[in-house]
């Protein structure tokens, strides 16, 4: 049994993290720490969770306790650096849901995130927590960096293919669509209903900060080919849908490809191989990633979809916690009823 602290738990991700923690049989208690919401009651921030979780005071991050066994950190880019090094120095386990430690190269933070990384020594110490690819039941580490939402949807779709067929890949292009909750709660004109309704648009073309993260992990899997990544905004609140097109120098039989994926995800409860392209509504409100493979001639199209707030954030974080402590990966995740 453990005690949990959540630093920055009042955003969209925090709502679901709280729900999973509340129903997790191995967590005895939890405390929320925040900046702007400190001093408020939890149910004033999340009134929809009345009757689901107990009300409690949200503490200030300036009053951070170091008494918990594990801390989830869910803060804007650059903010995690203020707390994670101290937590780790004290021997406390940390799962970071932000992007401050996902990249291996500190110089990439200047280029893609716009800040100087002040704890670069920790970049090589973290475990990148793509939970369904990390095969061991127990991840022996005090520090897991939770993957981004787009990277989760694309990497789960592509890593098995790259692992087996990298030498035959000419190019890979991934096009992804996301709901607006991926941008957080901050007010932005382009996210107003009147701007979004009936509209779709590409954004951050050739400059999305998830691109180096995706490329980093795909190269570790063996990718040698050029990779393109383009994101789009949908007029919906949540979910990510990714379509990856792979051009090959030879034709590869679809049955052979599916067999390889079956091997790779045989023990992955939260990855579901589908016979048809998945639909977004199949995974919303769940920790599942649904994947379909279609091969014709020298072209392979892989579609994948996740809930960005759960599989792309809080759900995978809880899955990583379960792996960190050697528990069943499904604890807290398969019986939630979050609206």
Q: Which of 7, 75, 149, 317 is catalytic?
A: 149
Q: How far apart are CA 288 and CA 80, in angstroms?
A: 27
| CA 75 distance to own-chain centroid | 14
| Alpha-helical segments (H) within the chain | 12-22, 42-45, 84-89, 107-112, 149-165, 193-196, 211-220, 254-264, 315-325
279 Rama class: left (phi>0) / alpha (psi -120 to 50) / beta? beta
SS3 267: coil
Let me know how long the chain is.
339
Indicate if 289 belongs to the active site.
Answer: no
* CA 302, chain centre distance (Å): 19
Burial of 269 (0-12, 13-18, 19+ CB in 10 A): middle
Give the whole-angstrom CA distance, residue 107 versus residue 87: 24
- Exposed/middle/buried for 101, CB within 10 Å: 0-12, 13-18, 19+? buried
Active site residues: 149
């Amino acid at each position: 049994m453990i005690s949990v602290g959540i630093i920055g738990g009042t955003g969209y991700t925090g709502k679901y993290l709280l729900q999973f923690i509340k129903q997790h049989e191995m967590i005895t208690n939890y405390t929320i720490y925040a900046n702007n919401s400190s001093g408020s009651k939890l149910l004033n921030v999340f009134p929809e969770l009345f009757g689901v979780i107990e009300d409690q005071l949200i503490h200030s991050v300036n009053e951070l306790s170091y008494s918990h066994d594990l801390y989830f950190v869910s803060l804007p880019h650059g903010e995690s650096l203020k707390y994670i090094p101290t937590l780790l120095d004290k021997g406390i386990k940390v799962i970071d849901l932000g992007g401050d430690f996902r990249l291996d190269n500190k110089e990439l933070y200047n280029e893609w995130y716009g800040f100087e990384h002040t704890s670069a020594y920790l970049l090589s110490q973290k475990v990148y927590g793509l939970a369904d690819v990390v095969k061991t039941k127990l991840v022996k580490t005090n520090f897991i960096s939770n993957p981004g939402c787009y990277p989760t949807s694309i990497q789960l779709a592509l890593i098995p293919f790259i692992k087996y067929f990298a030498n035959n890949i000419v190019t890979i292009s991934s096009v992804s669509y996301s709901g607006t909750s991926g941008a957080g709660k901050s007010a932005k004109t382009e996210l107003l209903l009147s701007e979004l309704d009936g509209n779709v648009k590409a954004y951050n073309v050739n400059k999305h900060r998830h691109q180096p993260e995706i490329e980093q992990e795909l190269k570790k899997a063996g990718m040698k080919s050029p990779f393109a990544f383009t994101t789009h905004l949908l007029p919906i609140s949540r979910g990510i849908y990714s379509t990856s097109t792979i051009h090959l120098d030879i034709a590869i039989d679809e049955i052979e490809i599916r067999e390889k994926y079956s091997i790779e995800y045989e023990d992955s409860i939260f990855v579901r191989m589908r016979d048809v392209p998945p639909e977004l509504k199949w995974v919303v409100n769940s920790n599942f990633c649904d994947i379909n493979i279609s091969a014709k001639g020298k072209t392979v199209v892989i579609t994948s979809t996740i809930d960005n707030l759960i599989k792309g954030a809080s759900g995978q974080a809880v899955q990583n916690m379960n792996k960190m402590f050697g528990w069943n990966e499904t604890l807290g995740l398969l019986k939630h009823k979050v609206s």
